[in-house]
Structure 1
Amino acid sequence: MEFAHARTDRLGMLLDQFDKAREMAEVRLTGLTDDEYLWEPAADCWSLRPRGEARTPRAFGPGEWLLDLGNPDIPGGEYAEIGRQIASGMTVEEIAEDWSVSSARVEEVLAHTGPVPPDKTPVTTIAWRLCHLHYEFAGGWEWTFGERKQDPKLMVDFTPSASLALERFWETVGRWRDAVEGVSEEQLDQVGYSQYPYGSDPDDPYITVVWGTNFEFIHHMAEIALLRDLWRTRA
């Protein structure tokens, strides 16, 4: 991407950022093997597992392979987001519903003082991170440009094949990106243009949803890149 041709409109800047991040990610994921894809670098990892072998209470997927998911909570890294939600006018009950936790847990976070506790979320495999992104992009398209019917967590038939997973993933990503490019200025400002059922999309202007999708893609791809480095040097 040539800087001289970079767009300066707000959607253009976000799309340019996404395209560059995708280009880097595609290079970093070249040569991903099945063993590396499913490698568990620590004990008690969340990963992709055959149906019947999942280790977490809310593991999900429509097919023979399920993605680990534990009980919902508000990690330390999201305490500031709870404060922002309160400042935006959301009630404790609405925040609790958004995070699938009790109102008491939200009150506990709001009452917290001092240093934020460290996150205790488990280490996740490359497969988990890629599948997590995959169903979010699939759901992001479905609940913005599609029929807004399918549960995002049941839209992707997860696979232990790294090459097949990547092929399907980039196809889904491309469809989302092409659709976003056609969004108008008015739609970017429209609250609830995306009705994605997990998170705050229905309450947000669509421009912030696009920004959030970029953030999600970039930070998970950075984590995947680090896991690839650790795999390469594990001996």
Structure 2
Amino acid sequence: MSAPPLDWGRLLAAQLEYYWDTHLWPRLNGLTDDEYFWEPVPGCWSVRAGADGRFRPDGVTTRKSPAPVTTIAWRMMHIAVGCFVIRTATFFPGPSDPADADMFDPRHVPGDLPHTAKAGAAFLHDSYRQWHAHIAALDDEAMRTPLGPKGAYFSADPMAALIVHVNRETMHHGGEIGVLRDLYRARG
């Protein structure tokens, strides 16, 4: 008697869902603006208003080594935009998303990011829900299909590999958000 076939799509979507529901989303409860923008050390990357008044993340085009410490705002927007928004717009585009854009196209990045912790959490939640709904609906064939030109230099990789990467990034940066919240609370 053989085991039933494994539903990789359901398993990957459930992994992200469990992490979100059990670990990340509950850790954002009660997040204040002061905590959201708190810079634990000098030189932190954050989300800041530019001369035009629009909020954007620091260091998007910079590759510093080692990378600077980042604020909770920066980490939340990295997950929301870098993991969810650009991947959703690329692989599950809506009517206003550019059809010719790959997953590194800057046109996917919102021109203005949330200005408060409450708005940042809502934006992160909405971007997660959109990405999760799309990946949860993929069948086995879609999971195995290479990303193609929209995947840029990951074009030969299957959609499942991208989902594994997004899950890993979400968990990694979500854990950092948890540590920053612990440090903020314990700072005395």
Normalising by structure 1, we get a TM-score of 0.67
Query: What is the CA-CA distance between 1:142 and the residue it aligns to?
Result: 0.7
Q: Which residue of 2 aligns with 1:98?
A: none
Show structure 2 runs of 5+ residues with no match: none
Distance 1:25 1:143 in 2: 24
Q: 1:15 aligns with which of 9, 13, 23?
A: 13
Q: Which residue of 2 aligns with 1:144?
A: 91
Query: What is the CA-CA distance between 1:26 and the residue it aligns to?
Result: 1.0
Q: Which residue of 1 aligns with 2:110?
A: 155
Q: 1:175 aligns with which of 118, 123, 130?
A: 130
Q: Which residue of 2 aligns with 1:185?
A: 140
Distance 1:70 1:145 in 2: 23
Distance 2:166 2:53 in 1: 26
Query: What is the CA-CA distance between 1:184 and the residue it aligns to?
Result: 1.8
Q: 1:120 aligns with which of 56, 66, 78?
A: 66
Q: Which residue of 2 aligns with 1:234?
A: 187
Show structure 1 runs of 5+ residues with no match: 1-6, 53-61, 76-118
Indicate the percent of aligned positions where both proteins have the same amino acid.
29
Deviations 1:124-165 (A, max 9, x none): 000001111111211111100105526355326312210011
Q: Which residue identity lines up with residue 137 of structure 2 in the other structure?
A: G
Query: What is the CA-CA distance between 1:202 and the residue it aligns to?
Result: 2.7
Deviations 1:9-60 (A, max 9, x none): 22222112111110121111100000000000011110011103xxxxxxxx
Aligned residues: 174
Distance 1:180 1:171 in 2: 14
Distance change in 2, residues 1:226/1:19 (3 Å) = same
Q: Which residue identity lines up with residue 209 of structure 1 in the other structure?
A: L
**Max Rg structure:** 1
Residues 36 and 126, structure 1, Cα contact 8 Å, conserved in 2: yes
Distance 1:194 1:168 in 2: 28
Q: Which runs of 4+ in 1 moved over 6 A?
A: none
Question: Residues 1-235 of structure 1 correspond to what in structure 2 (within 5 A)?
Answer: 8-23=6-21, 24-52=23-51, 64-69=54-59, 72-73=62-63, 120-136=66-82, 137-146=84-93, 149=98, 151=106, 154-155=109-110, 157-192=112-147, 195-196=150-151, 200-235=153-188
Q: What secondary structure is seen at the aligned counterpart in 2 of 1:173? A: helix
Which fold has the larger relative contact order, with Cα–Cα distance below 8 Å and residues 6 or more apart in sequence? 2
Query: What is the CA-CA distance between 1:201 and the residue it aligns to?
Result: 3.8
Residues 85 and 109, structure 2, Cα contact 8 Å, conserved in 1: no
Q: Which residue identity lines up with residue 224 of structure 1 in the other structure?
A: I
Distance 1:229 1:194 in 2: 41
Q: What secondary structure is seen at the aligned counterpart in 2 of 1:195? A: helix
